[in-house]
Structure 1
Amino acid sequence: MAAWFTFTIAFSTTLLSQVCASGVFELDLHEFKNLKGLLANGNVCKPSCRTYFKICLKNYQAVVSPGDCIFGSTVTPVLGTNSFSAKDSGTLQGPIQIPFKFGWPGSFSLIIEAWHSPFGNLPVETNNPDFMISSFATQKQLGVGTDWSQDTQTGAQTELRYSYRFVCNESYYGESCSKKCTPRDDRFGHYTCTRDGQLSCLPGWKGKYCEEPICLEGCSERNGNCSKPGECLCREGWQGTFCDECKKHPNCKHGTCQLPWQCDCQEGWGGIFCDQDLNFCTHHRPCLNGATCMNTGQGSYTCTCLPGYTGVNCDLEMQECDSNPCRNGGTCTTLEGGYICKCPKGFEGSHCEHNLLTCADSPCFQGGKCWEKDNGRSYKCECPPGFTGLNCEKRVDKCTSLPCANGGLCVLQGGMRMCSCRTGFLGQRCEINVNECVGKPCLNGGTCQDRINDYFCVCPAGYGGRNCDRVLNECSLQPCLNGGSCTGGGGPGKSPANCVCPPGFTGPRCESLATFASPDTGEDGFQ
Structure 2
Amino acid sequence: MQSLQTCTVLLVLSILIGLSWSLNPRDPNVCSVWESFPTSVKESYAHPYDQVTEEPCSEPRTSYRCTRHRITYKTAYRQAVKMDYRRRYQCCPGYYESRDKCVPRCTKECVHGRCVAPDRCQCEGGWRGDDCSSACNDKHWGPGCSQLCKCENGGLCNPVTGTCQCPPGYIGRRCEDPCPPGTFGKGCLQKCQCGTGGSCDKVTGECLCRDNFTGTFCEKACPKSRCPLRCPCQNGGICQGKGICACPPGWTGEVCTERCAEGRFGPNCAQECVCHNRGHCNPETGQCQCAEGFTGNSGGCLCEPGFRGPQCRERMCRHGTYGLHCEHTCLCHDTHTLSCHPLKGECTCQPGWAGLYCNETCARGYYGHGCLEPCLCVNGGVCDSVSGRCHCAPGYTGAHCESPCKSGTYGKNCSLECSCSNSVDCSPIDGTCFCKEGWRGRYCSIPCSKDTWGLGCNATCQCANGALCNPADGSCTCSPGWQGPLCDQPCPYGDQCSITCPSCAHSSSCHHVTGQCVCTPGYTGALCEQACPVGLYGKQCTGVCRCAHNSTCNHQDGSCLCPPGWTGPDCTLQCHPGMFGLNCAQVCSCPPNFYCDPQTGECVCESGPGTDCKKGMVWSPLYPMNSY
Question: TM > 0.5 between the two?
Answer: no
Q: Which has the higher strand share?
A: 1
Task: Report which structure shows greater RCO (CA 8 Å, sep ≥6).
Answer: 1
After TM superposition, the score normalised by the length of structure 1 is 0.30
TM-score scaled by length of structure 2: 0.26
